[in-house]
Amino acid sequence: MYAAAIAALSVTAAQPAAAQSNYDARFVAYPSYNGTDLELLVDGSGTHFKLWSPTAEAARVNLYDNGRTGAPYKTLEMTINPSNGVWSASLPERLYGKFYTFQIQNNGKWLDETPGVWAKAVGVNGKRAAIIDFASTNPEGWNSDKGPAVKNFSDVILYEMHHRDMSLHPSSGIANKGKFLALTERGTVSPQGLATGIDHLKELGVTHVHILPSYDYNSVDEANLPANQYNWGYDPQNYNAPEGSYSTNPSDPATRVREMKQMIKALHDAGIGVVMDVVYNHTAENDGSNFSLTAPGYYYRHREDGSWSDASGCGNETASDREQMANFIVNSVKYWADEYHVDGFRFDLMAIHDTETMNRVARELKQIRPDIFVYGEGWTAGDSPLAVERRALKENVSKMKDIAVFSDDIRDAVKGHYSNAEDRGFASGKPGNEETVKIGIVAATAHPQVDYKKGNNSKFPYAGSPEMIVNYVSCHDDLTLTDKLRKSMPDATDAERLAVAKLAQTIVFTSQGTPFMFAGEEVFRDKKGVHNSYKSPDSINAIDWNQKATYKDQFDYYKNLIALRKAHPAFRMTSAADIAKNLKFDKIDSRKQPNLISYSLLNNANGDQWAEIKVIFNGAPAAQTVSVKGGNWIVVARDGKIDPAGLGSSQGGKIEVAPYSALILARE
């Protein structure tokens, strides 16, 4: 009976595309398994292997003495449970220190070996899975380790960083350059004696680091380190094991696990949470991926003609709407949250996934820890067979409880469109973006004074809550803000660009929602104008920490801006109703005063100690005059300076706002 089922369901990964057409519906008949013991369990009775591969004709485990070379010293034949498609094999010994691979027989052919899709520890370059005692990888105090408590997502301040970028430059003062351990080093300084690394993060005041992919990825040869091999890591290989090139010994599977935990604990000890960038939407390889070699065809979407669907722009896209893939995504993030104490997850190209799976992700993570933060890119890089209404798009974010999306509205309106280097935005002098900036200010929620019909990217209020929105002007993708301003303002001075950068970030950090910044922009970091530096050398990507002294004024502004947001809950409202009630835009004729936005946060908004906060943005290249009602005002920000304690006082009336700057006033 089961042989007949195999014949009916079997799909060969290597068969011609035309032969694969119209087979996707068959996968619905696949049994699924949601146990936590895939693919390895070591207990008092020995070592147990399990592999989900319902259409395999046979399966086996190959056991090795090391993680890279040599023939297997033993091969175990596996047996299947037809009810769930899981193959099993066991040995009475606890095989700590050994390595293994799986192989399946498909259409009479043994496919290549794979560590399986659930490998939690791997040898060098991730081709063989490792058997280790995870309890032995826990740093001292791990059982009591936890990240900072988060009451509301709007309280989070995100700082996106890459391990090598933060520490590789000679000026970092960090010994473990490019490694997990770089963020365990305290007391590191630049040549000018200014804090770098984890001390810099603490000084800046961010609440969470968003680390670029740190699972085992495909593009860096871990067997030939140290080498100037760079990649962002958006080419997944083993989703549940740390990347070896970030460890001090990639050949030792336990080292990479232990050192990643040490990094997370050091950040937690400094009061900083850890968000992990996850890329479940595609794999580095197609037919050669662990998914394809385990359950051919199942884990991916295909077009009607049988070719690979490619909403990721990377050659394939995974099928989160299939039960076993959804199980994989959910159990994988739960594993990272539980084993590594990760505090949040950023989903790459999240709209490739379906809203049902994303809701399940958030729901099950909340059972581990209620304040885990989940957010992602609410778009795809291409079309997908998944129905638009099921995609985890930003436009569908209100269908997803406890999920946030990036705001491309505020990003493109403030600095200029990401795809056109020469395009300017509101903060750099281009008129016509005022209404879209307002969409960002109210976190894409419904507001009686915001006309969504005039929005550049969005035409309706798609967020039901500000906690569904992450605001930013730049990230690892595309040009840094510094490079964008140099490209779009070629005749400006760096002093003018620095002013624009301050204004852009002031808009982000005073808007409702969750603010996000890219590492190093507080020291005017650039990437030599490289638009997409995912595999550029460290000379392009590494942060030059000498710039912290050069641009100390910029750093101090960012630090004080963060302190202002933390001190005043008016910038961190938690409901759309509160925003509509307490945030009031002033009437400004944009034909007469382009690039000018003025609004008030009123009536002790969100329990703030200030009765009213007046926020004014002038993105024009010339000074503009605004009218502020009379009263005793504290000047919080003016002329490129900011201080939450106040820069002086004002009685209101006619006030001139400098070009490319923010004016923030407050009344007790």
DSSP 3-state of 164? helix
DSSP at 300: B
Catalytic residue among 377, 409, 478, 526: 377
Residues 345, 327: Cα–Cα separation, whole Å: 16
Catalytic residue among 252, 348, 395, 435: 348
Q: How many residues does the chain have?
A: 668
DSSP 3-state of 459? coil
Residues 317, 309: Cα–Cα separation, whole Å: 6
- From 45, 47, 44, 57, select the one nearest 7 (Cα to Cα): 57
Cβ-based neighbours of 477, under 8 Å, separated by 6 or more: 418, 532
Beta pairing partners, 90: 48
- CA dist list (Å): 250 to 122, 220, 232, 622: 9, 11, 18, 55
567-598 residues labelled b (16+ CB within 10 A) or e (exposed): ebbbbbbbebebbbebbbbbebeeeebbbbbb
Instruction: Using the Cα atoms of residue 647, residue 651, residue 657 and residue 661 in order, give the sign of their dihedral.
Output: positive
Q: What is the CA radius of gyration of the chain?
A: 26
For residue 219 the two structure tokens come to 């593009």
CB–CB of 519/480 below 8 Å?
no
Task: Fill in the amino acid letter for 408.
Answer: D
Residues 499, 554: Cα–Cα separation, whole Å: 9
Residues 346, 532: Cα–Cα separation, whole Å: 19
- From 10, 40, 78, select the one nearest 298 (Cα to Cα): 10
Residues 202, 195: Cα–Cα separation, whole Å: 9
Pairing of strands 514-518, 583-585: unpaired
CB–CB of 325/333 below 8 Å?
no
Other beta carbons within 10 angstroms of residue 624's beta carbon come to 22
Task: Fill in the amino acid letter for 600.
Answer: S
Other beta carbons within 10 angstroms of residue 392's beta carbon come to 31
Cβ-based neighbours of 492, under 8 Å, separated by 6 or more: 485, 500
Cβ-based neighbours of 202, under 8 Å, separated by 6 or more: 195, 270, 271, 272
Distance from first CA to last CA of the chain, Å, rounded?
78
Pairing of strands 583-585, 58-64: unpaired
348 is catalytic: yes
Helix segments in 140-196, DSSP class H = 163-167
CB–CB of 648/635 below 8 Å?
yes
- CA dist list (Å): 413 to 394, 396, 455, 640: 17, 21, 9, 21
CB–CB of 98/63 below 8 Å?
yes
Residues 504, 618: Cα–Cα separation, whole Å: 10
Q: What angle do CA 73, 78, 83 make, to 5 degrees?
A: 160
DSSP 3-state of 37? coil
389 is catalytic: no
**Active-site annotation, residues:** 348, 377
